[in-house]
Each structure stands twice: as C-alpha cells, then as structure tokens.
Amino acid sequence: MEVHINEIPKLLNEDNVEILDVREINELSEEGYIEGTRHTPMSEFDVETVSLDKDKKYYIMCRAGGRSARVVEYMEHNGYDATNLEGGISAYDGEKLFK
C-alpha cells in the first residue's frame, strides 16, 4: 500500500502515527526535510536497534520511493504497520526545511 507524499501534513496530525525519513544525512542538506518527520537513515535501519512501537502506524519516505518501499517490506515482515510514501521528497510540494 502507498500514500502520496503530499498527504504528510494530514498524517502529521493523526494520533499514533510516525513518519520515518530513511534518506542518508547528506540528502537532508541537499534536498531538505519535512518538519515533524523522524530521520532514521536506511544504512542504520534495523528494527532491533531503532526504537519502534508495534502499536503505531508508520509512514516511510526517501528521495523517490524505492528505498522506503524496501524498508516498508522489512518492517511488515517484522510485524509493524508500515506504508510507503509514494514519490518521496522529490515529489513533495509542501515546505521543506534545510539544516
């Protein structure tokens, strides 16, 4: 299942939802990030070491949607409720912040 990335403002207002940005650190400075999302690089992503709650709904984003789709598959395999944010940050029309 996928939800378009432009749904982020609505998703950020929902209860028991967390949005994970799995891009690498250098991508945040190049492409910006969305306030309210949690940066967890894919290169460091492991359900054993990243603090996740199986009672939450997770939406996963990256640059274009490919890496986030792989993370969603991994999370679902490990019992988490996860959805890919289609299009990634490159398709996002809202405000982006830069570090």
The residue assigned the tokens 């999302």 is 37
- As a 3-state breakdown, the chain gives helix, strand, coil percent values, each rounded to 5, of 35, 25, 45
**How many angstroms separate the Cα of 28 from the Cα of each of 38, 58, 63, 76?**
12, 20, 10, 25
| Active site (catalytic) residues | 62
